[in-house]
Amino acid sequence: MQIQLNFVTIAGEGCKHVVAVLLDLLDKKEKLPEEPVPAAVLEEPYLSPDEIKAQALEDRKKRARTEQFTLTPGDMLKGDHLLTTPRGKQYQVTLHDPVAGIGHCSCPDFLSSGLGTCKHLVFLHNHVAKQKGFKKQLTRERFPYVDIFWDARAARPRLFHEQSFTGDDPLAEMLAEIFTEDGQYRLPGLADFMPYLERLQSYKRVRIQESVMGKLANRLLDIELAAAADSPLPNSVDYLKVSPYPYQEEGIRFGLYKRAVLIGDEMGLGKTMQAIGLGVLKKEIFGFTKVLVVTLASLKDQWQREIERFTDEKAEVIAGSAAQRKRQYSEDDSLFKITNYEAVLRDVTIIARFKPDLIILDEAQRIKNFETKTAEAVKSLPRQHALVLTGTPLENKLEDIYSISQFLDPELLSPLWKFAADHFLLSRHKKGKILGYRNLEKLHNKLRPLVIRRRKEEVLDDLPEQLVNDYYLDLHETQAEIHAGYSRSLLPLINKKFLTPMDLRKIQVLLLKMRQVCDSTYLIDRETNISPKLDELATILGELVIENNRKVVIFSEWTTMTFLIGKHLSKVGIPFVELSGRVPVKKRQVLIDEFSTNPECKVFLSTDAGGTGLNLQAADCVINFELPWNPAKLNQRIGRVNRIGQKSKCVNVINLITKSSIEMRIMAGIQLKGELFSGVFDGGVDEVMFDRKKREEMVNQLREMLGQELEEPVAEP
C-alpha cells in the first residue's frame, strides 16, 4: 500500500524557521521586482508565485555581485568560459547572447532552478557588460559550434547555433527533425532522441552537453527498470535467512527496480530487514558490490548484527583513526559498510572515492536541519541507487519532504523556489511565516512512485504477537569512567575466598551503581544528568507519540529515573501518569483509568514495584529504560500490555542498552539462578548465609556474567 498523504492545510507558527531555511529569504525590499506591485496584489495576505520567483532571481543577482569568482575567459565573448568559485569548484559557463546574458552553466543550480540563469551566468554577463567596446567585438564573432544543451525551464533539450547551412546539408535536416526553428525540442519524449545520438556525435561542430547526456542516460535506465519491475521476486530463502512478512516482501518488491525509494513504515515494522533485503537483491540483479548504510551512531552495531543475522553477507562498521577508516573503505570486501551521519562529513572525500552503489539513509527524519554541512555532505555522495528509511509520516512535516527528496531525486521537487511557490502560502507581511499549504494532491502524485508507507493497523494480520527492538547506545565518557571505577572495586570482592554478609552488601551496591550510571549520572551524584538513554528516549517518543499518536508504557526500576523522564515529558508537552510503589493502592486504578480512557494521555510511566497486576492494554508499546536482572520480571512488564483485551495484535518492545557495560552482560542472556541470587539483587542480603558450595556457585556465575568487566587493567610498561 502506498503512502496516503493527509496533509494539514494550515501551518502553525513553528514552521517559520524551516521556511527561512527553505527560501533563504533576504530583505523583501531588496528582492521585490523593480516595477511597482499593483495595489490589488498587495492586498493579498501571501506572496504570489511570481513574487517568489522574482525573489529567487534577485537572490542570484545579489550573490553574483557579492561573491568572489575567478574568471578564465574563452577565446571569444560568445562561447565557453571557465569560472572558479571561492571553494575551488569550477563550472563551464557558455554565453549565447552576451548582451542579454543568455546562455547556460554546468552548475547544479542552473540545471535545476528553472530560472534560465544562475549566479555564475549573471556574474559573467556583468563582467562582459563592463568591457569597453564589447558590442563592437560581438559584430565580428559567431558562436563557434552547434550547441545542444539542457533547458531547465522546459525540462527538455534545446538547440542554439549561428551556423550557415547549405540547403541540402544532412545535419540541418536532422536538426530540423529534432528541433523547431527557434531551437525548441519537438520530439515526444527524451528517449526519442536516442536514435539521433550517434549521428549527431559524428559531427565535430556539434556539441551535446553532458547535462543532456546525463538526463538521457537516466531516462533510458528508468525505462529499463520499469520494464523489469514485473519480474517475479526471487524466493526469500535464496537471499535471506529469515522469511520476511508479506508486507516486507511487498516493500522489497516496491524498491527493487527503482533508483530511489523511501520506505516510511511505522516504527517497529521492520524497515531494516527490507533495506537489507534490497541491498542483497540489488547485488544479485545489478551487480552492486558496495552498499553504504548511514545511520545513527547508536544503531551501527545493531545494523551489523541484523545484516549478519538475516544474510550470509558481511558488514563492516566504519570506526577508528582516519587511516583505519580509509583502509576499511578501500580494502575491506564486505558488501555492507556502516557509518553514522557525523562521520560522513569527516569522511566525505574518502566516501567519494569509495563510490558506493547503493546508499541507505536510516532514520533520516532525525536530521534536525537538512541544510547543515552534514546534510549537504550526505546529499553530495555519489551513488547509483538511494534508499531512505523513516518512521515519521511525511504528511506531518511538509517542510521535510523537499529535504529528503533532494537526496532521493534532486529533480523531483526542484527548484526550491518553485516548490515553495507551488505549495506554501507565505505571509506578505511577516517574513518566513507560512499561512497554509496548497496544491497538495499535485505533491502527492509526484511522490507516489517513490514512497511506500504502512501503518501498524494495516498489516496486523502479518505481524507476530511481539516485536522487539534493541537500541544500543554508547556510554558518555563520564559514565564510562564511573562504571569502570565500580568494576575495579568489585574485583577484589569476587576474588575473596569467603564472603561475609557485608561483602554481599557491597557487591549488591556496586552492581546497582553500575546499572544506575548506565541510565544517568544523576542517579549517582544527584547533580549532573548525563544520559544518552534519555536523549534517545526523547527521539523515540517524538516519533511514536508526537508523530504517530501512539500510547506507550515506560518502565524503570528507579523512581529517580522516572522523575527525570517525567520532567522531559512535561517539557515537551506529552501528558502522562506516573505510578510507583509510593502511590496508594486505592489511587492506582484512577491512574490506569486516566491512561486508558483519556486519548490525550499518551504515556504510562511506572516502576516495577508499583505495577503488579496492572492492565495496560490501551498501549501497544513497552519501553524498558533498562533491563531487569530477572527475565521473569521483563516478561511481567511486557505482559501488562500484551494480555487479553489488547486491541492490537502486535506489541512493540523497545529495550535501551548501553554498550561496553554491565547491561550488555545482562542482555547476553547469561542468567543467574533466581533463588540463589534473589537476596543479592532484590534486597534482604543481611539474612543471606551461603555454604561454601553455593558461595562458589554465585562467584562463578558472577564471573561468567561480568566477563571482561572484571579483568585486571594492564599496567603500562
Q: Clarify whether residues 533 and 386 are in a common domain.
A: no
Residue 111 has pLDDT above 50, yes or no: yes
422 φ, ψ (degrees, to nearest 5): -75, -30
Please check whether residue 432 lies inside any domain of the structure: yes
pLDDT bucket at 704, cuts 50 / 70 / 90: low
The per-residue pLDDT for 16 is 32
Q: Clarify whether residues 139 and 187 are in a common domain.
A: yes
Please check whether residue 18 lies inside any domain of the structure: no
Q: Clarify whether residues 29 and 123 are in a common domain.
A: yes
Could you tell me which residue, 587 or 626, shows the higher pLDDT? Answer: 626
Could you tell me which residue, 363 or 679, shows the higher pLDDT? Answer: 363
pLDDT bucket at 707, cuts 50 / 70 / 90: low
Q: What pairs with residue 621 in β-bridges?
A: 552, 652
> Which CATH number covers residue 480?
3.40.50.300
For the residues 304-317, what does the mean pLDDT come to? 93
185-222 tens-digit pLDDT:
999 999 999 999 999 999 999 999 999 999 999 999 99
Residues in the chain: 717
Expressed as residue numbers, the domain containing 145 is 23-223
The per-residue pLDDT for 464 is 67
pLDDT bucket at 694, cuts 50 / 70 / 90: low
> Which CATH number covers residue 364?
3.40.50.10810
The per-residue pLDDT for 296 is 86
Please check whether residue 276 lies inside any domain of the structure: yes
- Under 8 Å between Cβ of 262 and 251: no
Range of weakest confidence among 86-100, 295-309, 364-378, 612-626: 364-378
Please check whether residue 6 lies inside any domain of the structure: no
Q: Which residues, 6 or more positions from 555, have their beta carbon under 8 angstroms from its beta carbon? A: 606, 607, 608, 611, 622, 623, 624, 625, 637
Q: Clarify whether residues 510 and 651 are in a common domain.
A: yes
Distance between CA atoms of 608 and 706, rounded to whole angstroms? 24
Q: Clarify whether residues 265 and 401 are in a common domain.
A: yes
Dig out the grid coordinates for 305 from the structure. Answer: 548484527
Helix (H) or strand (E) holding 483: helix 477-494
Could you tell me which residue, 39 or 184, shows the higher pLDDT? Answer: 184
Dig out the grid coordinates for 95 from the structure. Answer: 554565453
For the residues 294-314, what does the mean pLDDT come to? 90
For the residues 25-38, what does the mean pLDDT come to? 35
| Boundary-marking domain end, from 412, 433, 462 | 462
Distance between CA atoms of 565 and 571, rounded to whole angstroms? 10
CA 673, 675, 676: angle at the middle one, nearest 5? Answer: 65
Dig out the grid coordinates for 299 from the structure. Answer: 544503531
pLDDT bucket at 94, cuts 50 / 70 / 90: very high
Could you tell me which residue, 358 or 265, shows the higher pLDDT? Answer: 358
For the chain, the average pLDDT equals: 83
| Boundary-marking domain end, from 161, 188, 223 | 223
Cβ contacts of 51-57, under 8 Å, gap ≥ 24: 52/23, 52/417, 52/420, 52/421, 52/426, 53/115, 53/417, 53/418, 53/421, 55/23, 55/25, 55/26, 55/28, 55/31, 55/417, 56/113, 56/115, 56/415, 56/416, 56/417, 57/115, 57/117
Beta strands 424-426 and 434-437, pairing class? antiparallel
Could you tell me which residue, 695 or 19, shows the higher pLDDT? Answer: 695
Please check whether residue 644 lies inside any domain of the structure: yes
| Boundary-marking domain end, from 462, 492, 510 | 462
Q: Which residues, 6 or more positions from 86, have their beta carbon under 8 angstroms from its beta carbon? A: 67, 68, 69
The region, left, alpha or beta by phi > 0 then psi within -120 to 50, assigned to residue 116 is left
The per-residue pLDDT for 712 is 40
Q: How many domains is the chain partitioned into structurally?
A: 3
Q: Clarify whether residues 140 and 261 are in a common domain.
A: no
Q: Clarify whether residues 451 and 470 are in a common domain.
A: no
Where b means 16+ CB within 10 Å and e means fewer, 667-682 reads: beeeebeeeebbbbbe
The per-residue pLDDT for 433 is 77
Q: Clarify whether residues 458 and 471 are in a common domain.
A: no
Please check whether residue 237 lies inside any domain of the structure: yes
The per-residue pLDDT for 459 is 84
666-692 tens-digit pLDDT:
776 544 444 444 444 444 334 444 455
Q: Clarify whether residues 379 and 489 are in a common domain.
A: no
For the residues 425-447, what does the mean pLDDT come to? 82
SS3 at position 92 = strand
What spatial distance separates the first Cα and last Cα of the chain, rounded to whole Å?
64
pLDDT bucket at 643, cuts 50 / 70 / 90: low
Q: Clarify whether residues 134 and 274 are in a common domain.
A: no
Q: Clarify whether residues 451 and 477 are in a common domain.
A: no
Please check whether residue 4 lies inside any domain of the structure: no
Please check whether residue 646 lies inside any domain of the structure: yes
Q: Clarify whether residues 246 and 219 are in a common domain.
A: no
Give Cα separations from 427 to 56, 440, 608 (angstroms).
Answer: 16, 18, 52
386-412 tens-digit pLDDT:
999 988 766 556 667 888 888 899 888
Residue 5 has pLDDT above 80, yes or no: no
Q: Look up the pTM and report it.
A: 0.71
